[in-house]
Structure 1
Amino acid sequence: MSLTVGIAAITGKFARELTSFLLKNPAITIKGYCRDPSKVPESFFSKVSIVKGDAFDTSAIRSFVSGCDVVVCCYLGDAKLMVNGQTTLIDACAAEGVPRYVASDWSIDYTKLELGQLFPKDPMIRVKAYLDAQDKVKGVHVLVGMFMDMAFSQAFQVYDPASSTLKYWGTGDEIWEATTYRNAAEFTAAVVADKDAVGVKKLVGGRATFKEISGAFERAYGEKPKLERQGSADDLFKRMHELRQSNPQNIFSYLFLFFQYYMINGQTLLGPNLDNHKYPQVKPVSWEDYLKSTPKDQLPGAPGRAGQNV
């Protein structure tokens, strides 16, 4: 059975990964939406129809979603884009009779958070509430934990490549759930192709404690990393709020500390009951799988390479 999939912000790195998987399915036709068609990868040119427009061009958006069976939003930006941009897309889907909308989530389980706790996820909470109130469009929310590619980047403040040190808060026995960009895209492609898939889908590549991740690092690279405990979960909570209050404009000094806190306190865990078994065609990429497939010197820059090889 044929399926027409609309991908908003098709030039983004996650959208590129997703498109590459969807194109492997001969029953799927893809429509893309973006501001600058010149940024669409050459490999997509003959296979994807492109509509040009921005996130608030209602006329272009209506044209884009028209005829789609499902629309996937791959927006990434400020709160205005993530909330108002998505509600504009959702309204267009309702007007054009698009039955399913895949929200721009790919996240830890923000459904367990209160507004204001993990502030970057507030837009997702608002968009989910908006979709839940719809009667014409069914929301789909693909939750994957954190992006594994981000874990060892400089921004996440966990890995020091110069000294091969892994830094953590808490006890080191807390579960870290994560999925690579590419594995998350493969899971999402399976969900998109499943016309019955609606609501929250919990699809995770790897679940391991920080100490277990350290062991995987040693097996992958033949080098035992140094482990550096930075404090308790309560210490982390205090530190992240101190940094935010003292210099709120320097968001990257505290942003990922907030993510770490709500991961290690267990509030946003997806497992152990996941939906992976519903899509057996997708092989989960574990922490150890990821490390063994990624040269050690490429770990810090891994996020920047996502979507570049399509």
Structure 2
Amino acid sequence: MKRFILVAGATGNLGKMICRELVSRGASVTAMVRTSTDPEKIDVLAKMGVNVLEVDFDSVEEIAKVAANMDCVVSALAGLKDVIVDLQKRILEGAIQAGVPRFIPSDFCTDYNDLVPGENRNFDLRREFKAHLDGTPIKASSIFNGAFADILKYNTPVLNLKDKSIGYFGDSRNWKLDFTTMDDTAAFTAEVALDNDAPRILHIASFQVSPDMIWNDVKEATGQEFRIFQLSGLGDFAHSIKKQRADNPAGENELYAKWQQGQYMYSMFTTHHIQLANERYESLTWTSSLEFLKSFVN
């Protein structure tokens, strides 16, 4: 039976990949986009076979009309409170009014449920929306993928190609970090959107690697031995993040303020996934750490 899936945030990198994966699985995919969306982005989706509808995102009634007869709404939105809380609430309300049975919120990150509120601004926004979502009758599934693996390309403290170094916080040299490629995340999300029995929370990771394991993979990929060292204690790291935030109030209006990037890194070294749902869908294959690192390290 053909499934009908509505995607919000379809013009973003992840949203576009989710649409691609859904279409490849035979789903009828509709993307709702803002009326001001770049026509070139709409054209990319249309060429995939996605039905693109321009919607007034301030109107729950318009959203409900678009959501009519859908089997699931997938949110791949990115933003601050006006998007993650306010806009997602309107999309959720529209879905409920239309009788949509399932909703996948934009929770593509580390599982924040057991983390301390206040330690991560963006997680707090998702936590606020989750509290609202769980008070509604719709069936929801959140996908927690840890960090997107692409961050390893950009000279973060955990892997700095320019300095040929690998850093860690606290006594976490052997602490496994959760990384998932965007392609793997999109493929898994498509499967969840088509799976009426999907649970409330699903943890995934393309690969789970410690700083020591990254060192070994980099050596195998390049023949080079990077410097591996402790960046600071976790307590000192948390203190420095709080100071950065206090010293940069303008960052409150930035999605990826420097201190917010530090908050994400801190979360990676304080929680990780114990049980993965990677094997839930047999058709999926997962990118390995070595395979991913070989794609960009020299």
TM-score by structure 1 length? 0.88
Q: Which runs of 4+ in 1 moved over 4 A?
A: none
Q: Which residue in the other structure is 2:273 paired with?
A: 270
Look up the match of 2:212: 211
Partner of 1:49: 51
Residue pairs, 1:137-148, within 5 angstroms: 137-148=138-149
2:113 aligns with 111
Which of 248, 254, 258 is residue 253 of structure 1 equivalent to?
258
Partner Cα distance (1:208, 1:158) in 2: 11
Letter in 2 for 1:254: W
Letter in 2 for 1:62: A
Asked if structure 2 preserves the Cα contact closer than 8 Å seen for 1:140 and 1:197, the reply is: yes
2:42 to 40, 43, 67: 40
Contact kept in structure 1, 2:219 and 2:225, CA below 8 Å: yes
Say if 1:128 and 1:139, in contact at 8 Å, map to a contact too.
Answer: no
1:122 counterpart residue number: 124
Structure 1 contact 177–204 (Cα < 8 Å) conserved:
yes
Deviation at 1:54, TM superposition (A): 4.3
Question: Which whole-Å CA distance do the structure 1 matches of 2:240 and 2:29 have between them?
Answer: 45
Count how many residue pairs are aligned between Structure 1 and Structure 2.
290
* 2:179 counterpart SS class: strand
Aligned residue identity for 1:51? L
Determine what percentage of the aligned residue pairs are the same residue.
Answer: 22
- TM-superposed deviation, 1:21: 1.0
SS at match of 1:112: coil
Q: Does 1:166 align with 2:166?
A: yes
Displacement, 1:69? 0.3
> Aligned partners of 2:163 and 2:143: how far apart in 1?
36
After the TM superposition, which of the residue ranges 68-77 and 124-133 deviates more from structure 2?
A: 124-133
SS at match of 2:103: strand
Decide whether the 8 Å contact of 1:17 with 1:185 is kept in 2: yes
* Structure 2, gaps ≥5 residues long: none
Relative contact order (alpha carbons < 8 A, sep ≥ 6): 1 or 2 greater? 1
CA contact (8 A) 2:160 2:166 kept: yes
CA deviation vs aligned residue, 1:82-103 (integer Å, no higher than 9, x gap): 1010110111111000000000
- 1:80/1:227 CA distance change after superposition, 3 Å: same
How far does the alpha carbon of each residue in 1:233-289 deviate from its partner, in whole angstroms, 9 at most, with x for none? 1221121112112223346332222112222123xx222x12112112111223222
- Looking at structure 1, the residues matched to 149 and 48 of structure 2 have their Cα atoms a distance apart, in angstroms, of 32
Q: State the partner residue of 1:24.
A: 24
Change beyond 3 A, Cα 1:42–1:262: closer
After TM superposition, give the deviation of residue 148 of structure 1 in Å.
Answer: 0.9
Shift of residue 107 of structure 1? Answer: 1.0
